[in-house]
Structure 1
Amino acid sequence: MKKLSVSELAKLYGYSRQAIYAHINKGNLSKGSDGLIDFVEALRVFGEPQKKETTVNQSQSINSQNLTEVDLLKRQVDILEKQLNQALLRENQSLERESFYQEQIEAMQRLLEAPKPQITQSGDHGSVQPEPATEAKEEVIAMPPKEPEVIENKRIPVPEHVEPEPEKRGFWSRFFRPYD
């Protein structure tokens, strides 16, 4: 006699494994000591297996699996489109920010390159007087303004702030403050 496992029996009759186990728990169907079910026992409970229904059930399950896969893939495409749109938005924002900062840098460089009047101190007053203008300076001022040069990737050095080294103290001065 042929013996079948629960999953084989479920496939043969088109039932779920839980339905087979429900019949076993009710006592309608019995398993052998090896955990397998006799085909004769299955015939008694379920009757003859019908091949046509199993193919219809299989095709329906295949169609439903394909539909769920298609739905899943459509959702993934939608998610990826949203992520792409967000990435493009972030890229545009970063390009705008970059152009804004580049304009700021160019403006700062023009300010740094502007001619500065020389300042001299006279005597003890501490008063500041600009140096008298010479003819050469007047000529430079009279010239039309230059077009700003485009400088790419020019770095302006930033002076580092150096902390002064603290005063060295002895061992006991850590616990007792000296009189000042």
Structure 2
Amino acid sequence: MKSLSVLELSKLYGINRQTIYNHINKGILSKNSDNKIDFSEAIRVFGEPAKKQDVKEPVKIDSPSSAEVLLLRQQIDMLKNQLSDAKDRESFYQNQIETMQRLLEAPKANMTTFTDQEQPQANAAQVQSAPDTDDPKHDGLTTPEQTENKRIPVPEHVEPEPEKRGFWSRFFKPYG
């Protein structure tokens, strides 16, 4: 015979589940070892069902597993969105890195080194101070060759730094 759960039986007969549990507790209705009630037992206690439903029809139940499945699907959708956002961010940052690398590797036509900056100034001073009439080779369009860079001498005598003093030695040691 067909076995029904308490929920299926309550829907079939249109009675409250608590009524079925009360009948089971009083011994009027008995359950199988699998916690289901035989359909013949239900007919004995409650009579023929008023609704002419086929007992083989499954009764849809909002079980916790279906709620869990729905929750898991929502989480999967959320994770897919986060993954696509992360991929978009990664491609954007990768493009930024490539752009910065291209800018760093670009030739620097106007950039000069520190030593190169001093030489044009010295050359310009020599050109302005020297008249072009004395040098037959100089055409005025190019700068004459620089003879020699004169360096400024650094004084030999440099005072040593005073000894660093700790917090307490400032109060207890005399200056010396």
Normalized against structure 1, the TM-score is what? 0.39
Instruction: Report which of the two has the higher share of helix.
Output: 1
- Normalised to the residue count of structure 2, the TM-score between the two structures is 0.39
- Bigger Rg, which one: 2
Higher strand share: 1
